[in-house]
Amino acid sequence: MSSVPRFWRSLGSRYNLEGTRCKECGEHFYPPRNFCVNCRRVGHIEPYRFKGTGEIISYTVIHTAAEGFEDLAPYTLAIIQLDEGPRLTSQVIGDPEKIHIGMRVRSVFRKLGEDGEGGMIYYGTKFVPEDA
């Protein structure tokens, strides 16, 4: 049995923005998929590490945060379309007043939260404006 930290480090899609790509049609998937939704059984899926750049296609500013995130408010959650095609939801770090649809962003590795004062700290992907 593996330790908890080793288990989380092994999840590439969580820490490295890794997904999959179909060798037949070139479609990219995030989170990773076991088969191509376009090619079905004919498609061959391979691991793919995304560049981590994309564009905000929609966003909202959270003013009343959920428990454990009160210190972050106000903060921005956005739907980001990666340059390779997939869309994902992530926090965008920066002044909420300056965030806009069409803004170019890039991924960064940041603290996502922790389980209490003495608990486990967990990390993952957030985004920042590309020019930051």
Report residue 12's pLDDT band, with 50, 70 and 90 as the boundaries.
Answer: low
The tokens describing 96, both together, are 């909420």
124 versus 18: which is more confidently predicted?
Answer: 18
Please give the Cα distance from 127 to 89 (Å, whole number): 10
For residues 40 and 101, what is the distance between their CA atoms, to the nearest angstrom? 33
pLDDT digits (tens, 9 = 90+) for 69-116: 788 889 999 999 999 999 999 999 999 999 999 999 999 988 777 776
- The average pLDDT across 49-62 equals 96
Tokens representing 72 are 């972050």
